[in-house]
Amino acid sequence: MLLIFDLDGTLIDSSIDLAVSMNATREHFSLPPLDPNLIYSYVGNGAAMLIRRSMPADVSEQQLENALDFFLKFYRAHALEHTRLYPGVREVVEELSAAGHTLAVLTNKPERISFDIVRALGLQERFVRVYGGDTFANKKPNPVGILQLMQDAGAPPDETLMVGDSAVDVQTARNAGVRSCGVLWGFQPESFQMEQPDVVVSEPQELLRPLRPQIVK
């Protein structure tokens, strides 16, 4: 079974570091800070979209590029100050890996930062691939990442599951013709009202239970 995990809001709680980095970017441009909860609602479509949503509507494209550059440099330096795995995630990932399933990460966060976070948290050996928002020409919900991971693993659609915390992950799974599992502990569980996952879990350990009878072989 190929299990593809989103990163932010699914495996890791990166909320504080993202909010601090975004507000540092706004401060750099002499703008007041945003409510962290608002910033969290902007996460999921990649750093460029996070910047666009978090900056004033009247800024120029050049200013947005400058803001993105500042944000990425700041975030690279501070991405692990508060970021942690969600409770129970490590144990579930290790159990799934030990059971022989193929695990991968597909996120809209830049690949290099994503890999560094996974490695720093001690899980790099559990994931065969860590693909980011800049790995391919298109980000989620474009299905290219899932399709490539299926090719990498030799996994058919009915043996593939996308696990994530937002409608973007559900859309990506549907666009790739695979099933989706929505987690309720992440940044945007309310978005599942728009795009309903095939399976919903409220804590990491539940990933083991619904998978056994429904999906995992």
pLDDT in tens, 142-200: 999 999 999 999 999 999 999 999 999 999 999 999 999 999 999 988 999 999 999 99
pLDDT of residue 216: 36
What domains are defined for the chain? 2-13+84-214 (3.40.50.1000), 15-78 (1.10.150)
Instruction: Look up the pTM and report it.
Output: 0.92
- Catalytic amino acids? 6
Closest CA to 140 of 181, 96, 183, 170: 170
Instruction: Give the number of other CB atoms < 10 A from CB of residue 123.
Output: 22
- For the chain, which ranges sit under pLDDT 50? 212-217
Q: β-strand 179-183 against 160-164: which pairing, if any? A: parallel
Residues 6+ apart with CB under 8 A from 204: 86, 87, 88, 89, 91, 92, 183, 185
Alpha-carbon span 24 to 44, nearest angstrom: 19
pLDDT of residue 45: 87
Residue 50, CA distances (Å) to 40, 157, 178, 181 in order:
9, 31, 27, 24
Residues 6+ apart with CB under 8 A from 118: 7, 11, 105, 124, 127, 130
- DSSP secondary structure string for all residues of 115-174: HHHHHHTT-GGG-SEEE-TTTSSS-TTSTHHHHHHHHHHT--GGGEEEEESSHHHHHHHH
pLDDT of residue 44: 84
Rg (C-alpha) for the chain, rounded Å, is 17
pLDDT of residue 83: 97
Q: Fill in the DSSP letter of residue 103.
A: E
